[in-house]
Homo-oligomer: A and B are copies of this chain.
Amino acid sequence: MTVEPPDFIRALDEADPIRAFRQRFSLPQGVVYLDGNSLGALPAATAPRLNEVVRQEWGEGLIRSWNTHDWIGACRRVGDKIASLIGAEAGEVVVADSTSVNIFKLLMAATAARPERRIILSEAGNFPTDLYVANGITALLPQLSVRAVAPDQVMEAISKDVAVILLTHVHYKTGRKYDMAAITRRAHECGALVIWDLCHSAGAVEVDLGAVDADMAVGCGYKYLNGGPGAPAFLHVAKRLQKDLKSPITGWFGHAAPFDFASAFQPAPDINRFLSGTPPILGLTALEIGVDLMLEAPRELLFRKSQLLCSLFVELIDSSCQGLGLDLVTSRDPLSRGSHVSLRHAQGYPIVQALIARGIIGDFRAPDILRFGFAPLYLSFADIWRATDALRDVLATRQWDAEQFKARALVT
């Protein structure tokens, strides 16, 4: 069953200028990990660095490490590093809270900045937490309502009554990618603000927030940034908007001078105003390792490799899985998709389980989606070949038919 990949696959790997990064991750033997869009792999440097932070900085330094090891600056420091991955400026990104909480903060801030407008525009079928949080806000502020439309109707749904648009740049299920520049431009023409959810983009897809004059963004630390399970999230606000937007959660870390312990809240003059509680240092430590590692690779090579991995996957499926019941959900156009590819099959769930049993880890999204993510730092072209070869074999032998798997979805 361990057939070697053909020569052209080996040639692709040999020509890959960032292939050496794979050695910087601790991946289990025999596993092809195509779920880095759900939980990124473990960088080899993470465990030793966490051990150092725990034993030296916390254990020995104790309370003093807030200053001596600059824990106090971690949200901004790691934020600045993430900024450079998504085309933002230093001072426009902080690491804070979870994506859900950050969406809440930015939606509240954006709707308050457009008090005469009543619509939050989003996509029907957006990742659930985005819609849940948006709808939750309309329960708090009944003058607001959510307009959720199909992806190809977003442009025409942008009107003068829209306060803010909340879109996930790359769709978690279909992999469809929005034209960030066009939507942002149209939104600004109508006086609306835009929040881009970059959970499935940051670290895998070219994003240039500065070039498109983006307003705000949020994103996840535990997917392509390899920050570890439940890593803290990030939040972006363009500098031109920072003074006018206010966080609804005015916790002490958002104060202009948190350690003055003043009785009145004075928001920080900059992006720090979107911080709330005490920063999670262990989570920030692991996230910083993931981001630092990614920053070692030239951005254009990283994003180019993502595209090539996706394209190879699609081509191999096309050539080897014909007539086996698979439908391609994700676009064939590299410019219209992110860094994962979804396939549809009526037996999607047991097929994914059969693949996992062979060490090919992808995931399943109800009702019938097989999802495969392509993290450019640690995947090889041979991995893609092995995955499609195994998928072909599972389908051709109907292996999924014979097996029993317990029904339990994994975290996106």
CB distance from A187 to the nearest CB of B (A): 23
Tell whether, in the assembled complex, residue B28 and residue A101 are in contact, meaning their CB atoms are under 8 Å apart: no
- Contact among B39, B99, B265, B282 with A62 in the assembled complex (CB-CB below 8 Å): B39
Which B residues lie within 8 Å of A276 (CB)? 98, 100-101, 104
Near B by CB (< 8 A), chain A positions 227-263 give 228-233, 246-255, 258-263
A229 — which chain B residues lie within 8 A by C-beta? 57-58, 65-66, 71, 278, 281-282
Q: Is the CB of B283 within 8 A of A280?
A: yes
Q: Chain B nearest CB: distance from A12 CB in Å?
A: 24
CA–CA, A41 to B63, complex, Å?
9
A112: chain B residues within 8 A (beta carbon)? 140
Partner of A281, one of B33, B228, B248, B255: B228
- Asked if residues A99 and B277 are in contact (CB atoms below 8 Å), the reply is yes
Q: In the assembly, what is the distance between CA of A228 and CA of B57, in Å?
A: 10
Q: Which of A126-134, A153-161, A310-318 contacts B (4 or more CB under 8 A)?
A: A126-134
Q: How large is the interface on A (under 10, 10 to 19, 20 to 34, 35 or more residues)?
A: 35 or more
Q: Which residues in A have some Cβ–Cβ distance to B below 8 Å?
A: 26-28, 31, 33, 35, 38-39, 41-42, 46-47, 50-51, 54-55, 57-60, 62-67, 71-72, 97-101, 103-104, 108, 112, 124-125, 128-129, 131-133, 135-137, 139-141, 220, 222, 228-233, 246-255, 258-265, 276-284, 286, 356, 361, 363, 365-366, 408-412
In addition to A101-B249, A104-B251, 5 A-B residue pairs with Cβ atoms within 8 Å of each other are: A27-B59, A31-B62, A39-B62, A101-B101, A228-B282
